[in-house]
Amino acid sequence: MSNNSIQTSSLQTASYDDLRSILLDLLVKYAYKEGDFVLSSGARSNYYINGKQVTLRAEGALVIGRLIWQMLPENTSAVAGLTLGADPIVSAVSIVSALENQPIPALIIRKEPKGHGTKAYIEGPSLNPSATVVVLEDVVTTGNSALLAVERLQAAGYQVTEIIALVDRKQGATELYQAQGLKFQAIFDITQLQQYTT
């Protein structure tokens, strides 16, 4: 399904599989680029995925919000992620949760503590102690960014046992999360994007 045929009203009732197909099309069309790139880890890569090219589009945010909403465990109290890549994702999921009459808040995790006021790492509503929070991410490579979000949330007393990403680059994140006892789901892995482009 091409992006040109996306009708926002149809996204409200689209099945999980249809939403997933739309997201794959959007990611390949707007986010996936081939070339010579240096990643945040310092490693070189012959491709790059700029998730914000999709997560900051209205239709992309709606598709992602609806997809991830369906993937969340029933006891989820909030969704959270490390700024900046996860910011539009957690917001989209929170909005969809409100549309589903089961509102959950979004939390944004700073990389450095706020320089004034509360000097907090976590932005968003305060939750009950031991609240269950799911960490979201756009693209995972080594997995360290989402793990930092997990550690900040756990330090605040929240329960975090799961990470959900849009794309897994298959470069060590799964193994890292397993070693930490975390469940990990990715809507796509890199091979699925690359096969779609051919």
CATH of the domain at 183: 3.40.50.2020
In this predicted structure, what is the pLDDT of residue 10? Answer: 80
pLDDT at 1: 40
What's the total number of domains in the chain? 1
Helices and strands in the chain: count of H runs, count of E runs: 8, 8
What's the pLDDT score for residue 116?
64
Range of the domain at 111: 3-197
Q: Are 71 and 40 in contact (CB under 8 A)?
A: no
**Per-residue pLDDT, 3:** 44
Measured between alpha carbons, how far is 119 from 96 in angstroms, rounded to an integer? Answer: 30
The packing angle between helices 58-71 and 16-26, to 10°, is: 140
What percent of the chain has pLDDT above 90? 83
Q: What is the pTM of this model?
A: 0.92
Which residues make Cβ contacts (< 8 Å) with residue 195, sequence separation at least 6?
A: none
For strands 133-140 and 106-109, give the pairing: unpaired
88 HSE (CA, 13 A, CB side): 17
Beta strand segments in the chain, E? 32-38, 44-49, 78-82, 106-109, 122-123, 133-140, 162-168, 183-189
Position 170 scores a pLDDT of: 95
Looking at residue 113, what is its pLDDT?
A: 82
Per-10-residue mean pLDDT of the chain, 198 residues long, equals 58 91 97 92 89 97 97 97 96 97 97 75 94 97 94 96 97 96 98 89
